[in-house]
Amino acid sequence: MPAWTDQLRFAFQPVVNLATGSVAALEILARPEDGEMDVLGSAHRCPDLDAELAALAVRAAARQETMLPLHVNVFAATVAELPSLTSLGKAVRDVGRRPWEITLDVGGPFTHVPHRSLLEAVRGLRDEGYRICADGVGDGDLPLRLLGELAPDLVKLDRSLCAGLTADRGRRAAVAAMRQLCEQTGGLLAIEGVETERQYAAAREAGVQLAQGHLFAPPARRASAEVYLPPERPPAARGPVPGGLPSGPPVTQFLQPAALLPISASADAVRSHLTGFPAVSGVLLVDTDGVPVRAIDRDRFLLSLSGRYGHALYADRPALRLADRPRTVGAGATAWEVLDVIADGERDRTGDDVAVVDERGRCMGVVHLADILRALAESRVEEAARLNPLTRLPGSDAVNGEVDRRIAEGRAFALSWLDVDGFKQVNDGAGFAAGDELIRAVGRVLAEVAAREPTARVGHIGGDDFLVLAGSEGPGPFAEAVLDVPWSAGGRPVTLSLATVDCPPGSVRDHGEAAAALAPLKKAAKALPGTSWVVGRPGSGRTEVRRGAVARVPAPAAPCGPTSAGTAGTEGVRSRL
């Protein structure tokens, strides 16, 4: 054992799940007793020393008798040069841990690291079961291209991003963009350096899922799952809403560490584990690859052993005798899918944990029914608060968020603005009740079309204004549904105007620029008499008129909403302005 280890100690800092408020893992940090000892500098220069440091960290955690998953730091150069990390693997086996309980926090510098070697090494470590975290993102030299190719299980943002998160819009936008990247690659987003409750709130609002910092708990020599959490619960992810908005918070947002024992474990070994860790609600029996084979519920198991002759009958026998088939969902599942799994099972197992498995079936953790139900209930309350009370459609924020998502993904889209011509005169002449019914009718038609168009989103901004977001194919089905039929309110004929901006990839930077490009098109549509639809592109002065009345013959008035007649005397005209 190297002599320098005598002057080395390790500290443990909790990684907190912001959705559940629980500790998801412990990061192990090297701390020299001698302040002049530059352990990290030496490890950076010597990959063998860095790998040995990671192995020592795992052994130090074993002495703490913690069952929480571990985060172990390694330099990218070490991973590229020593792809098998032999000393770390030996330590993991020696202490009875499994690779899938270890997340490797791979940190920079990356500049002079051969990227191909790094990617091949990461693939090999993943094959062994290790999880990969890109550490220190946002203040290092990790190229975005390499980050995408790594597709890490976790992206951990540097504390420098957290420091200005409450006041700097640019940093909040950067964090939100990284959340979008994580969603596309199937990873989670974490941030370091949360020191205040305001930073905590800003991190949650930006979409961060895991966090570390002195607010929760500082690094300490004793591993602990006790953390401080501000009393206000984090906002739940949004569930399905009208207008075709994205549905379901991801199940990984609620991931809790799983208690894993080998399939050969005896009932007495399971009992010892449950009594030694009172917070554990159940145990998963896994095969040598970490795939759940059986599940043991705490209450049912201990009840069986506490009965007459229970201990004598089962203690030395395999725990399999008292186990059930595990309930599992994939890492890409949503909270709603977890409820489906629970609903399809036996009634007496409603409260059992559900195991979350990766693409190879290995256990990543478990989710608790209570966390799922609480989050979905909160999401429904928040969702209802965001819906327009007249049409039950979401507001502009929901559509704007989807616009930004498509821009970040490099997807073409068409954003449209629809409103009623002279709506104030409609209210003044037909009354507010007739005006409200007209708006509800338009909203219903838009929602019905959105339900048939998988890439479409609809929002009600307020009053008589609606937003329609479509894919590259454009809002044609919406135009046919609302423009090619006559409308009326209180017996008075009504016309609608539609303006659309087609946005190819790279044409706008965010939803604000898309809205700015849409504004003059709306003005052009309103300038045309009768029902109208104009289309343009950002930065182009050319406007295509796809609907424009050249002759007006009043249609027979309907009580309210669209009539069964056709376009009633209007003629579509295409022109270039």
Residue 572: predicted pLDDT? 41
Residue 2: predicted pLDDT? 52
Does the structure show a pLDDT above 90 at 69?
yes
**How many Cβ atoms from other residues are within 10 Å of residue 328's Cβ?**
18
Mean pLDDT, residues 154-171? 88
Mean pLDDT, residues 157-182? 87
What pTM, to 2 d.p., does this model score?
Answer: 0.58
Percent of the chain with pLDDT over 90: 37
More confident residue, 42 or 260: 260
Average the pLDDT over each of 79-93, 208-222, 279-293 and give the range with the smallest value: 279-293
Q: Are 315 and 266 in contact (CB under 8 A)?
A: yes
Percent of the chain with pLDDT over 70: 85
Q: Which contacts qualify for 532-536: CB closer than 8 Å, 24 or more apart? A: 532/495, 532/497, 532/498, 533/479, 533/483, 533/497, 533/498, 533/499, 533/500, 534/498, 534/499, 534/500, 534/577, 535/474, 535/499, 535/500, 535/501, 535/502, 536/500, 536/501, 536/502
Residue 307: predicted pLDDT? 63
Average the pLDDT over each of 54-68, 372-386, 410-424, 449-463 and give the range with the smallest value: 372-386
**What number of CA atoms fall less than 13 Å from residue 150's CA on the CB side?**
33
More confident residue, 489 or 239: 489
Distance CA 12, CA 223 (A): 5
Does the structure show a pLDDT above 90 at 167?
no
Q: Can you tell me whether residue 267 is helix, strand or coil? A: helix
Six-digit token pair at 292? 């759940």
Residue 555: predicted pLDDT? 42
More confident residue, 390 or 323: 323
What band does 469 get if pLDDT is binned at 50, 70 and 90?
very high
C-alpha distances in Å from residue 44, one per residue of 69, 71, 109, 110, 280 = 25, 18, 9, 12, 38
Q: Are 30 and 10 in contact (CB under 8 A)?
A: yes
Residue 77: predicted pLDDT? 95
More confident residue, 446 or 383: 446
Distance CA 4, CA 39 (A): 9
Mean pLDDT, residues 112-119? 95
Residue 38: predicted pLDDT? 67
Residue 380: predicted pLDDT? 57
Does the structure show a pLDDT above 60 at 573?
no
Distance CA 153, CA 142 (A): 16
Mean pLDDT, residues 532-554? 77
More confident residue, 324 or 534: 534
Highest mean pLDDT among 99-103, 304-308, 450-454, 538-542: 99-103
Does the structure show a pLDDT above 90 at 13?
yes
Does the structure show a pLDDT above 70 at 242?
no
Residue 552: predicted pLDDT? 39
- Please state, rounded to an integer, the average pLDDT across all residues of the chain: 83
Residue 236: predicted pLDDT? 37
Supply the DSSP symbol for 3. Answer: G
Six-digit token pair at 452? 């048939």
Mean pLDDT, residues 122-151? 93
- For residue range 488-522, list pLDDT tens digits in order: 888 889 999 999 999 999 899 898 899 999 999 99
Mean pLDDT, residues 196-202? 87
